[in-house]
Structure 1
């Protein structure tokens, strides 16, 4: 069919706007919204995760404060360390919010508000209190001046240090009791006689000391008339079956790879100091920088 009638047919096929039942919508809106109660397992998971996040967030905050203090105090900054701490803070803060198993337990509960607000706040207060305690703390006298002179002093070990200490105490009028685990005295300051086919071969095990810093021991040897022999500081040794002398060092004994690690270590220790390096154990420092077992 042509003409106006055809246009009317097409117009009749166009769907009209949907009819909204206002009364039904208002009735649904007035109904109370119910929420599923978390199970006991979900609540335990909720509390356990919060307990784990609390000390971790405190630790990350304290480390970040130390790094900021290093930057303010010494003017240098460790990009890797600062970035690691910031990323840790972000992960601790954001990851729990996206765990579906925890989200169903009420992630926005008061417990998590206490964690995210309380942990950094407690860390900040502890950080400030630590330095205030150091600043206002009184010096402690390490030497105990209140003692009973009639009681004996116990000295453990009869090596050069133990004998020197016992002698000085005895000369000052104190009673001294010496304890020694072996059958003889002297410690490693003695001469070992090794019998050979050519006769006895004496090996002077004795120990090397510095004349300037060991003035008490020098007085001890002078009092008893012990002879002293001037000698060079012995820094030689063996490495992989080869002789090594640190005084007249020759490259090639350790191998090129190990010597390259020694050079790299010397370059690392010349870098500016920062707080993180002081807090890092030596083993972790060597592992982080990729040193081999031979270098250890």
Structure 2
């Protein structure tokens, strides 16, 4: 809580909670002016006060600077009080930084949900068209002899359509709208199948290096989950690099021992493998 002189913005008094929040003593706060705390310009403060009146809010949204230089988003509830023949502002200040961060995360999740619904609809319609292309290509292949030049062209059409269907299948999975279907996979082949898409994700400024391990064990996993994990890792790496750099993806077998695997690990010893990604970024 703060007691403020509205004529000059001087802090007349503060309680211990306010002193602890701002990171200085009560005596220090009494020597300060609100302009030293509020990071908004006078024009921005006037605009916020006008917006509060327009929205019929009984509080203002400001951004205050703490003693260590950190800034916090605040809600300031103010009301005039008479004290010793002078009108002062009695202010109750709430830190809403964490609340606003949660709200932003919630709004982002809503956006992703909308994108997921759109992706699912696009994938459904596109798969219907691809099904027709694949069907007619298979029929045409059955009617053309393998020795004819047209047969090779039809195979290319069929392979391209099947690959397009595979890419389309990833859309609902990335939107988390698809059932998980684990199957025995060769991890190296699964990674190789998505390398082109990963290179498009990270852009031309980042060199993607692929180092497949020799003799990696087969895994039981939905291939789309691998796509999701790798895409998330690569996007995070791209954002960390933020310029020119290198991203390395490699696979290898790993034997978990008691010194490596925690006691709560779901992986039994001597049956695990891993893939590893590394970047040139410092983040």
Which structure has the bigger radius of gyration?
1
Alignment TM-score, normalising by the size of structure 1: 0.21
From the two aligned structures, give the one with the greater strand fraction: 2
Alignment TM-score, normalising by the size of structure 2: 0.22
